Structure 1
Amino acid sequence: MFAKSLLSSFCFLAVAVLQVSADGCSQDNGYYYCNQASEVEFKGVGFSSSYNKVTSMNPESCECTSTPQSFGGALAPFDEELSFHFRGPVQLKRFAVYYPDSDNALSSLKKRSNHNHKKAVANEGGALKKRDDPAEITSTVYETILRTAYINADGSPATSAPEAFPASTVTGNGPAPTSSSSSSSSLGSNGLSISAPNEIGKGLAASSFVTSSTSAPPTSASSASSAPTSSPSSSGSSDWVRSSYYDSESSTSDNIVFMNNMGGTAGSGVWSYCFGNSISYAAANGVDGASSPQVLADTMLKSDKEVSIWSANKCDGDDCGYYLSGIPAYHGFSGTKVVLMEFNMPHDDSTNFINDMPAIWALNAQVPRTLQYGKRECSCWDSGCGEFDIFEVLNAGNEKMVSTIHSKQGSQNGAGGGGGSSDYFTRPTGSTMIGAVVFDTSSSAVYVIDVTKNGVNFDQTYSASDVAGWLKSGSTVVQLS
């Protein structure tokens, strides 16, 4: 990653600014945080549009071409293949992906989504009830309003909008790197690459948004909980079936491939002056490259180190679309699914640009298969193919994690889009946390849930009622338009 001193000399950073009116919210390093959450529900996810699908990449001329790719429907574009990314400091203990094996799997979740969420109103005297008020269960509803604010690299407010981010600049004729490096955008000892905003650092730049939140008590017992009114009596059935699994302590890996961005350094992937390091197989330590698939060790990734998870299903012919020649190309995880992950995020003493800012996120799998870090026209990210920040720490050392969807849904004049929550999950710095992410195409909803206390043990199958039982009362709701 780039040092702040370099950034301050030639660019601004666009950041998401949260402005909230709910009682109990506070500002921390430029971000507003409200209530501790155990679930954030994104409703109305999916719209019709297009993004620029890369069709060629020339490592000699540094040129990339693309063509418009239309998409639409429930969860779109997040119904497409996703890769899952983990940035340190983080220790991933277990990971699993489940797919529905019966109609019960979806019907139970759909009942939950169809349950009315009451829009909050002010209480007597204008005060807003806190969600943790012991007297009664409340819910928080966020409406996304787009606005962009800018800060300089030192954190001070910018007085004007920045110039457009410059394209990658290539200088020098040094050899391809042979040593470990956490920056996949390195272009040689004299090279410099400035790339799309999300590549400066997770949480420092992306679709900008403002959220206004209100919270009020439910009007009746039926609205006090957003859980389904009934669940299928299918406990013990295989409504959800595990397709991929990883356990660090037993070194177990089934239908999973670990990647990082060390292409061209250890026998897999490629390196070029134009595009830097591609994705590659990750070594067991998660930091170095490898020549073949390795099982990630029971290890702690330090700040600024990143590993990604893919299925073990290799791309064949054009079934993955275009991808950079020479990379190990695999399919991601698409459609309706449940993703479980157990992890902790202890503090570390790194002095990197994004030190002590762990994050877990999902990318449209086309992005890392072309260029995750580099020229914006060489991936579909900038044109809106989708990024989902699942658990993200926005500034160094913070112990709050937020969830944000980045897409062009709801954008104004092509700018901004997506949405996020000022309610937060508590970062697990000691014991591990188990998070569940449910991508439900039947109700156009995505749920991010802390299931640490739900007795989840990454079983081979789960019933519909099991998964529906993870959904929380009084969840935070982010309504996308």
Structure 2
Amino acid sequence: MKYTLLPALLSLGGAYAITPNNIISPASISGSLSALKYTNVGGSGSYNQVTNMIQGAWPSCTANPSCITSPKQVSGPLAPFDEEMTAVLRGPMTLHNIAVYQPSNSSAATWKRTSSWQQGSAPDNLVFMNNKGGGASGEWDTCGGNSQSYSNGDFTDAAASPNADTYSANLPGTQEVNIVTGTSCADVPCDGFARGTASHGWSGSKAFIFEFDMPSDGSSNPPAIWLLNQQVVNAAQYGCNCRGMGGSGGCGELDVFEVLPTNLQQGITEIYSFKGATGGGDGNFWARPTSGTVTYMAILDVQTDSISIQRLTEWDFTQTQITRSIVDGYLTVPSMTVNFGSQNSRRAEKRSWMHRRHLH
């Protein structure tokens, strides 16, 4: 991968931004969206953090309330997306590569690859999980339903231990999997309530890179990639959690690439937090890769209080580190810009069918 220097100095730190040569030209993809940047992401506010989940008694949830929460105050650039995040993926999808990069120290001059996985290889500081707890791993209770569990090799059931199988890379339609770090909440306590086989996500600034395709399985199953605050999956992803609903988006969700049932050939991006909701929407779409592999990068950057999502021509997944100048190069690529400021009225209510189902 080659890079070229931008002629202008960046205002932050006075360093040169390096523009990579793996940027997709909008003209080459028939007018669909190639890059989008959310600005003014962070803020000051609160969300309802889950502090306890009461199990209830079989056969019905007798606890009232069963979901115990307390307001958590947050503030600062990128908040609450500077907290630990996980990536969730839903099929039909074929996964080829995943990598996560984070600043190596407080200066953020270098971003190191902290987690990675390649099709057919063992993951590095990355564990595949799903919402099937209560059998081979994890737990189930009457009020909370299934906890997280370790995923088996074909993403269809739970496994007894993390990454016990070699992953097939084919994520079937309707099946979901999420990725976490190799550090469990049992090893190091997690923020908020955690149960079952709960684990940590990636905090602070981070860059997620996915190589994948989304072939049609002959049905109306819509694939998606989205990022959630790790606390959501550690409690109950489809029940008692801090995500929030509608305009009050809680502890943070970023839809990176979500195909909608209304148009299975397109994907959109949206962002939600306690500040509200806004995003690319139906009129500005990613082209669904039904017959070829694509690479997408999502950079969540504390320093610039921004999130950038871009389609790339390629990515060298063997790279163990990238410089801040390269990160700045991606952040300054011409993009559709969405201001996630204090007035977020684009949509007051999140579509009820957008990856929201109840398991109990």
TM bucket normalised to smaller: 0.7 to 0.9
Q: Residue 275 of structure 1 is aligned with which of 133, 137, 144?
A: 144
1:302 positional shift = 1.8
Q: SS at the partner of 2:327?
A: helix
Cα deviations by residue, 1:330-359 (Å, 9 ceiling, x for unpaired): 100111111111111000124xxxx33100
Tell me the amino acid that sits aligned with residue 379 of structure 1: N
Q: What is the distance in 2 between the residues matched to 1:386 and 1:470?
A: 23
Q: Check the 8 A contact 1:57/1:324 in 2, yes or no.
A: no
Q: Residue 241 of structure 2 is aligned with which of 368, 376, 379?
A: 379
Q: Residue 288 of structure 1 is aligned with which of 137, 157, 161?
A: 157
Q: Check the 8 A contact 2:91/2:172 in 1, yes or no.
A: yes
Q: Which residue of 2 aligns with 1:83?
A: 86
Q: Residue 304 of structure 1 is aligned with which of 174, 188, 195?
A: 174
Alpha carbons of structure 1 residues 455 and 77: separation in structure 2 relative to 1, 3 Å = closer
Q: Which residue of 1 aligns with 2:111?
A: 240
Q: SS at the partner of 2:83?
A: coil
Q: Which residue of 1 aligns with 2:48?
A: 52
Q: What is the distance in 1 between the residues matched to 2:233 and 2:213?
A: 25
Tell me the amino acid that sits aligned with residue 288 of structure 2: R
Q: SS at the partner of 2:261?
A: coil
1:473 positional shift = 4.4
1:472 positional shift = 6.6
Q: What is the distance in 1 between the residues matched to 2:50 and 2:310?
A: 34
Unaligned runs of 5+ in 1: 1-33, 107-238, 412-416
Tell me the amino acid that sits aligned with residue 263 of structure 1: G
Q: Check the 8 A contact 1:331/1:365 in 2, yes or no.
A: yes
1:466 positional shift = 3.5
Q: What is the distance in 2 between the residues matched to 1:477 and 1:396?
A: 24
Q: Which residue of 1 aligns with 2:191?
A: 321
Q: What is the distance in 1 between the residues matched to 2:99 and 2:302?
A: 19
1:454 positional shift = 4.7
Cα deviations by residue, 1:395-416 (Å, 9 ceiling, x for unpaired): 266221111101131x4xxxxx
1:456 positional shift = 3.5
**So what's the TM-score if we normalise by structure 1?**
0.59
Q: Check the 8 A contact 1:245/1:256 in 2, yes or no.
A: yes
Alignment root-mean-square deviation, CA? 2.2
Q: How many residues align?
A: 299
Q: Which residue of 1 aligns with 2:294?
A: 433
Cα deviations by residue, 1:157-198 (Å, 9 ceiling, x for unpaired): xxxxxxxxxxxxxxxxxxxxxxxxxxxxxxxxxxxxxxxxxx
Q: Residue 343 of structure 1 is aligned with which of 193, 199, 212?
A: 212
Unaligned runs of 5+ in 2: 1-29, 57-61, 342-360
Q: What is the distance in 1 between the residues matched to 2:34 and 2:279?
A: 18
Name the structure, 1 or 2, with higher relative contact order (CA <8 Å, separation 6+).
1
Q: Which residue of 2 aligns with 1:153?
A: none
Q: Which residue of 1 aligns with 2:309?
A: 448
Question: Going by fraction, where is strand more abundant, 1 or 2?
Answer: 2
Question: Who wins on radius of gyration, i.e. which is larger?
Answer: 1
Q: Are 1:362 and 2:227 matched, yes or no?
A: yes
Cα deviations by residue, 1:60-103 (Å, 9 ceiling, x for unpaired): 13412111100011111111111110000111111111112367
Q: Check the 8 A contact 2:32/2:286 in 1, yes or no.
A: yes
1:35 positional shift = 4.8
